[in-house]
Amino acid sequence: MLYVNTEVNGVPVKAFVDSGAQATIMSPDCAERCGIMRLMDVRYAGMARGVGTARILGRVHHAEIKIGGAVMPCAFTVMEGKDVDLLFGLDMLKRYRAKIDLEKNALCFEGQEVPFLHESEIPRSFEEAELNEPTVTGPNGEEIGAKTGAVRPKGSAQAGASNAGPSSSSQPAQPQAQPIASKAPVSSASQGAFPRDHIQQLTGMFGCTEQEATQALEMFGGNVEHAASFLLGG
């Protein structure tokens, strides 16, 4: 797992760097500790729908985050269901043109090289959740944690992990809910759930793929305005 030390509103937070997560997500508990719940826009509340569902409490459009020596504005989706305080997702990685450099074992951006935390520094709550959480099957046979979004090689799930929903002898059981961090592609049925012109409007405005536009619409129940604000990055 790739973690970096950060500060949000002056409060130390260990952030999980996940390029497979579309959005930067903060837990409600972490938002409370950082004193930014008062900034949350509840108009963005709803359900995130991917492989499963998770409750979105709202969106913080602007708060300061410090990574290394850089202080920069960041937007957060406040969502239940994650076992990490802060998940630094693809939206912010792209905004600041950050690079995950495994040779240097660091997150690199704007001249900064922020080292990833040693395994001993990773929060225990995340490790325990990863070991015991249910999984779903990814597009290439890998196993994706239903709560953390962690991707593990095929066949590596813990034998003691509990699963819910229908199962078979060859497929891991489907969990009841999972936030949007999964890398599984959007199905054609999901794409057909929204008007074609709404998808084309978003792809034309932001240069995103149809899959990204569909995922954004799914997150906000088909609301084009909210989906557009999300793709813009807050």
**pLDDT tens figures, 154-196:** 665 443 443 434 333 334 444 443 344 333 344 454 456 788 8
Amino acid (one-letter) located at 133 = E
In the chain, where the domains are located: 3-121, 188-232
- What percent of the chain is predicted at pLDDT more than 90? 38
Hey, which of 37-46, 80-89, 150-159 has the most confident mean pLDDT?
Answer: 37-46
d(CA 115, CA 100): 10
- Domain 188-232: state its class: mainly alpha
Known active-site residue 83: no
For residue 154, report the phi and psi dihedrals to the nearest 5 degrees: -60, 135
- Record: fold of 3-121: Cathepsin D, subunit A; domain 1 (2.40.70)
The alpha helices in the chain, defined as continuous H runs, are 28-33, 90-95, 124-132, 188-191, 196-206, 210-219, 224-232
Q: Which residues pair with 73 in a beta bridge?
A: 64
* Residue 231 confidence (pLDDT) above 90: no
d(CA 95, CA 8): 17
Whole-model pTM? 0.56
d(CA 199, CA 201): 5
* Residue 223 confidence (pLDDT) above 90: no
d(CA 217, CA 195): 10
Give the number of other CB atoms < 10 A from CB of residue 111: 8
For residue 43, report the phi and psi dihedrals to the nearest 5 degrees: -65, -20
Tokens of 118: 């040693």
Per-residue pLDDT tens digits for 6-29: 999 999 999 999 988 888 999 999
